[in-house]
Amino acid sequence: MSDRAGSLAGLKVIDLSRVLGGPFCTQILGDHGAEVLKIEPPGGDETRSWGPPFVEGTAPYFTGVNRNKKSVVLDFSQSASRELLRRLLADADVLVENFKIGTLARWGLGDDVLCQSFPRLIHCRITGFGADGPLGGLPGYDAIIQAMSGIMSVNGEADGGPLRVGLPVVDMVTGLNAALGIMLALHDRDRTGKGQFVEAALYDSGLSLLHPHAANYFATGKAPVRTGNSHPNIAPYSLFATATCPIFVAAGNDGQFRKLCDMIAAPEIGSAPRFSTNAQRVENRDALHAALERALSRFDGAELARDLIAAGVPCGPLLGVAEALAHPHATHRDMIVNIGSYRGVGSPIKLSRTPASYRQPPPRFDADGRSDTDKA
């Protein structure tokens, strides 16, 4: 644990967001030193109840994205709470929220009011589809965007149906985009002295993830198809069975492919004309996969993966979540956070002088209500 202040020390963030995209964004800011005040409705952030499992009555879904924050409960149906929010915003740098379009305006805090009353404020809104357009104002959910953005259509086995990616990738990337947008706006404020409105929409983020499928489609006009674990543009780039555990091989060029074949004592695969270039390997993907698995069946997967990557052939064993979190390199990279009884995944952003720090576990519901509201 670092005791350094962090690159965002002194930044005050009012977090009105709930569920995942917004809380993930503000946890990033908090990890790097920002003071984050999470304001929850009387019923709490609903992810507190998204279990089992539960730890001391709170679901890990909540604790996974809400460390380094304080919690205060406000009921914005009450004028006193709305006035308190105004006082909190008076010296805040950033406001993050994911209310339905028009909610803040009904409380007397529409975009025009925020801009006039708090000209240096960075107001970040996370939405499903943005405020206008054919789908403007509609609520957004990760799985719905995965379905509507094309992500599910390219995820799954070739002979199977579309599959949701097994983690909330759209929500989390939207949180990353929100954090990036906030940092861009803060940089501009340093230059101009003016805040601005930042929007990160799940729909936009979902479409932005379509590489290389969108690029391929723009180039050819052909709709992408599901290729399972295989890459649409590169071969071999897939999961392969061995004598023990499956391994993922990602040989991105001809030299890596030939080295792979030499190291598994199958030079005849590397020299076969139908596998001589990447384009030919993609064209003959199924035959290549079968030939490689026959050769790989003689090897221990974990040992071979270690030898291949050490030799410059990208390769890794298939690990479960428990194995991945227990890997010595995860500990070495400070990717496991321990604060008392709390355990979480660390920040992947590494800064040399002002690294992330883990100062507070996720807050209990309204844990800071009295002290922070008294200050305001």
Residue range 12-209+333-375 forms a domain whose CATH class is alpha beta
Distance CA 111, CA 360 (A): 32
CA–centroid distance for 272 within its chain: 41
Mean pLDDT for the stretch of residues 118-132: 97
Share of the chain above pLDDT 70, in %: 97
Query: Tokens 């492919």 map to which residue?
Result: 257
- What pLDDT does 2 receive? 45
Do 47 and 20 meet the contact criterion of CB atoms below 8 Å apart? yes
Residue 267 has pLDDT above 50, yes or no: yes
Catalytically active residues are 231
> Which pLDDT band, with edges at 50, 70 and 90, does 5 fall under?
confident
Query: Tokens 């279990």 map to which residue?
Result: 51
> Where do the structural domains in the chain lie, given as residue ranges?
12-209+333-375, 237-324
Residue 111 has pLDDT above 80, yes or no: yes
CB under 8 Å to 40, separation ≥6 — which residues? 18, 71, 72, 73, 74, 365, 366
Residue range 237-324 forms a domain whose CATH class is alpha beta
- What pLDDT does 3 receive? 46
Do 166 and 143 meet the contact criterion of CB atoms below 8 Å apart? no
pLDDT in tens, 295-329: 999 999 999 999 999 999 999 999 999 999 999 99
Note the pTM of the prediction, 2 decimals: 0.93
Helix (H, G, I), strand (E, B) or coil at 193: coil
pLDDT in tens, 177-200: 999 999 999 999 999 999 999 999
Residue 252 has pLDDT above 60, yes or no: yes
